[in-house]
Structure 1
Amino acid sequence: MNNIVILNALNLSEYAQKELYNGRSATAFAVDAASKMPEITDKAVILTPDGDAGPFEGFRQLRIENSSPSGLIEALGELSEGFENIFYYAADCPLVDVQLAEKMYANHIKYFCEYTFADGYPIGLSVEIVKTSILTMLSHLAESVEGGIERNTVFSLIEKDINAFEIETEISPDDQRLLRVALYPDTRRNYIQLRSITDALKRASADSGKSSSELILDTIRSNGGLLRSLPIFFEFETTTSHPQKLTYMPENGGISASGTDEMQIEQFKTALEKISAFSDDAVISLSVRNEPSIHSQAADFAEAVLAYERFSLLIETSGLGWERA
């Protein structure tokens, strides 16, 4: 069979090249796995115009400026011309399991599938297998999709007309979707978590007799502490007032509905600086119990959060008190 493995190296974080274990980075391990995929005859990588090609020696390289889903499908089509199947995964996934990929590929061939993926495993453990003959249809589906390229872009496109494709799913023996484990270092939080998991795997791998995916699933399930790295959710109460008498929120602590105390914007900005230095990425929530729109500088608080590229803003509001800009 004439197959190609294609790595997605678009928008890798700085943590992808940091040492993960044994002096090697996440990308280095992802590159190693590429050469072991079944029945491949070529390797390629998709990069941004200024992406670092250093880790991808021996790979055909394609730099793209179109960072939309249609741009991704176009790149996959260009790189896979003349091949039957694509093994596709992100270039910062150090624990992608070759044995699992072999099992998926066997079913992909046996059942004449056009798309094979795994479900219930931690993200970053499995590949996607795409038959190149469906790329034309995926290109049409991508034409109406806005936004950037995500890790699940190929699957999200297939979902738009899922009955049009022959699909095979490899189901995890232990469904860990609710754990929301990310086996890739896209943030400081996930980098620390990944280091903890890989350290635990080194201790557990000796004479285990288990496949890589089985060992990873068992390690994660039996060591909940590995998933606790850095906090991501931070709540702020910016005012002591709310415009409604809420039956589900009894007054307590001497705080009345008509309170006038406000958090100062400079205090808030200082807190954001410390959160950025500590957690790197974060979801900032306004407000825990009162109405953020009543604050005299409500818009300034929102702008302060959005000034950080890796921060997301969540506003809990009654909808009252806001004015159109």
Structure 2
Amino acid sequence: MKSLIIFFADNFSNFGFENSFGGKSAFDKTLEWAKNVKTASKIEVFCHESNKALVEKSAESGISVKSKACWTNEELFAEISDSLNKCDADYALFSFAFNPFINQALTEKLIATHEKFRSEYSFADGYPVSVSPEILDKGLVKILSELIKTKDELKNAPVSKSSVFDLIKTDINSFEIETEISTTDWRLYRFDFSCDKKENYIACTKLYEKVQALNEKEKNDIQKICEVASKEVKVLKTIPGYFNIQICKDYQSKSQYCAYSLFGNTIKENMSFENFKLLVKKINDFNPDAVVSLSLWGDPVVHPDFFDFVNEVINYPGLTVLVETDGFDFTKPDFNSENSEGRNKLKALSDKVSRMGKRKNGYSPVLWIVNVDAMTQKTYEDIHPGLKLDNAVASIKLLQSLFEGSVYSQFLRILKNEEELESFYRTYKEKDFISAGNFIITKYDHFCKKLPEIKSADLSPIDRNPCWHLRRDFNVLADGSVPVCREKSFETACGNGISQDLETVWAEIDSAMQKDIEKKYCEGCSCCDEYYTYNF
């Protein structure tokens, strides 16, 4: 049987063309893999016009390059179908183009399984992203190219690494599917061994350095490579994806379940806008695709310059801002009157966001989380003394009307409101309800046993994984102090995000990460159960 290899070269960055792998680029390594696929009759690269010149310069003769200004899922399947017909191949091997660890042995197993069982779709399950292709039968591609036209939410969406499976799973029982299952499930690490963006590129280069110490047999063993990655700080912890910043020292709610009150009034002033501007510029230089939260502690909407802070983040084309709030400022007369200053600022922000579209990280420029936490006023007031549930609901309605699809209703799951959890789920999951089916059920954080243990269920894994927050989160208090993690917000800082270089401060957390990998936990970490929760 003959196959066609199709690579998709995204336009995130030029990292895929950096010669960082023994003098070769990730693109070179991926083409090297393709040339060794015995069934391959042709290699094609689909790319954006923005990197067509780089692709053509790096590609060898005989490799076809197709470019478009904007690739949608509908266009992707149409082009794969067209290419399969023209080269008379039986199936396509589809992969993104910048995968230095795409594995020959795993590919051969996948092809053998696909051909033996005459599968329509075959993929590797439990492995890291980007270490093997997806295999699509010619007949399946023809079906998918028609099916995508009926899926409004998918057809105009940009091509992603999950585009194929996202479409197949809409009617998954209609297709013959085979998998090659990993002996170890690596999904909990969320590895992505591709060089499409900065954080993945760093992980790949650091992993490549470590792999060079292996013998030749081990270098070709994808399980061994994953094992090395799972124990290496510089692979697990590359650059922060989530910057959690305190801009305001005050809350609207005086919830007894918030740890902020435990530490007294140690933060005396709000973060100034001047310091914030400096910090955001550093964040953009460090990770231009990051999510920036304004809600580490305090309620950001209370800050008098709140809208300036939000606008400053989204002025950078790749950054997303997250606002978690009780939302009550949005129900006050200043926002309810038609021509009020607050309402005008909120509407102006909405108009600005609507012109931007989604970021390269896949998120909207502004995301909102409004704390609901209850379905009755009595329970709500037990959690948020003196405040009204109706106001939180009204805030969600207002925000959803201006930021459609980017507003999430949040429910903190504790013993006190457990009886209302099912009602919350059944109500808020509905697409025609106030947050259009967007909701979050969040676990209670006892803050390393400093707060009472009142969670209603223990969802922690049996085997402890390396802490996601040490791997992904960069926390900054209003005075610029950077704690090791949120749980240690008011212990000794490891640096200052305003006065110091962020990469230098981030490196100070490496030692804590190494201890976590080795399971040498300090007193706080040993009783913390936040390690398995994931922000962005």
Going by fraction, where is strand more abundant, 1 or 2? 1
Cα distance in 1 for partners of 2:99, 2:170 equals: 26
Going by fraction, where is helix more abundant, 1 or 2? 2
Which is further off, 295-304 or 84-93?
295-304
Matches within 5 A, 1:40-119: 40-50=40-50, 51-52=52-53, 53-57=56-60, 58-81=62-85, 82-119=88-125
- 8 Å CA contact 1:43–1:60 kept in 2: the answer is yes
- 8 Å CA contact 1:286–1:314 kept in 2: the answer is yes
Q: CA deviation at 1:225?
A: 4.8
Cα distance change on mapping 1:115 and 1:200 into 2, 3 Å: same
Q: CA deviation at 1:159?
A: 1.0
Cα distance change on mapping 1:231 and 1:317 into 2, 3 Å: same
Cα distance in 2 for partners of 1:213, 1:65 equals: 35
- 8 Å CA contact 1:187–1:280 kept in 2: the answer is no
* Residue in 2 that maps onto 1:173: 183
Q: CA deviation at 1:207?
A: 5.2
Cα distance in 2 for partners of 1:207, 1:127 equals: 21
* Residue in 1 that maps onto 2:9: 9
Q: CA deviation at 1:115?
A: 0.4
**2:224 equivalent to 1:215:** yes
**2:320 equivalent to 1:312:** yes
Matches within 5 A, 1:29-40: 29-40=29-40
- 8 Å CA contact 2:230–2:236 kept in 1: the answer is no
Q: What secondary structure does 2:278 align onto?
A: helix
- Give the gaps of 5 or more residues in structure 2: 336-342, 348-536
What is the identity percentage for the equivalent residue pairs of Structure 1 and Structure 2?
A: 28
Q: Taking structure 2 as the reference length, what is the TM-score of the superposition? A: 0.57
Among candidates 192, 197, 201, match of residue 191 of structure 1: 201
- 8 Å CA contact 1:291–1:318 kept in 2: the answer is yes
Q: CA deviation at 1:174?
A: 1.1
Q: CA deviation at 1:9?
A: 1.1
Aligned-partner residue type, residue 61 of structure 1: V
Of structures 1 and 2, the one with the larger relative CO (CA 8 A, separation 6+) is 1
Q: CA offsets per residue over residues 161-201 of structure 1, 9 Å max, x none?
A: 11111101111111111111110122222212111101111
Q: How many residues in Structure 1 have an aligned counterpart in Structure 2?
A: 322
Aligned-partner residue type, residue 100 of structure 1: L
Q: CA offsets per residue over residues 255-276 of structure 1, 9 Å max, x none?
A: 39xx994322221111011122
Which is further off, 240-249 or 114-123?
240-249
Cα distance in 1 for partners of 2:146, 2:262 equals: 57
Cα distance in 2 for partners of 1:27, 1:72 equals: 20
**2:215 equivalent to 1:205:** yes
Which is further off, 152-161 or 272-281?
272-281
Q: What secondary structure does 1:246 align onto?
A: coil
* Residue in 2 that maps onto 1:28: 28
Larger Rg belongs to: 2
Among candidates 231, 236, 239, match of residue 248 of structure 2: 239
Q: CA offsets per residue over residues 12-47 of structure 1, 9 Å max, x none?
A: 521111122211111110111111123111111112
RMSD across aligned C-alpha pairs, in angstroms? 2.1
- 8 Å CA contact 2:9–2:48 kept in 1: the answer is yes
Q: CA deviation at 1:242?
A: 1.6
Cα distance change on mapping 1:71 and 1:65 into 2, 3 Å: farther
- Give the gaps of 5 or more residues in structure 1: none
- 8 Å CA contact 1:38–1:105 kept in 2: the answer is no
Cα distance in 1 for partners of 2:244, 2:106 equals: 40
Q: CA deviation at 1:294?
A: 1.5
Q: What secondary structure does 1:92 align onto?
A: coil
Aligned-partner residue type, residue 256 of structure 2: T
Q: What secondary structure does 1:20 align onto?
A: coil
- 8 Å CA contact 1:97–1:126 kept in 2: the answer is yes
Cα distance change on mapping 1:106 and 1:280 into 2, 3 Å: same
- 8 Å CA contact 1:12–1:92 kept in 2: the answer is no
Which is further off, 302-311 or 2-11?
302-311
Q: Taking structure 1 as the reference length, what is the TM-score of the superposition? A: 0.92
Cα distance in 2 for partners of 1:310, 1:169 equals: 35
Cα distance change on mapping 1:224 and 1:172 into 2, 3 Å: farther
Aligned-partner residue type, residue 175 of structure 1: D
Q: CA offsets per residue over residues 105-148 of structure 1, 9 Å max, x none?
A: 11111111000011111111111000011123212332222421
* Residue in 1 that maps onto 2:304: 296
* Residue in 2 that maps onto 1:135: 141
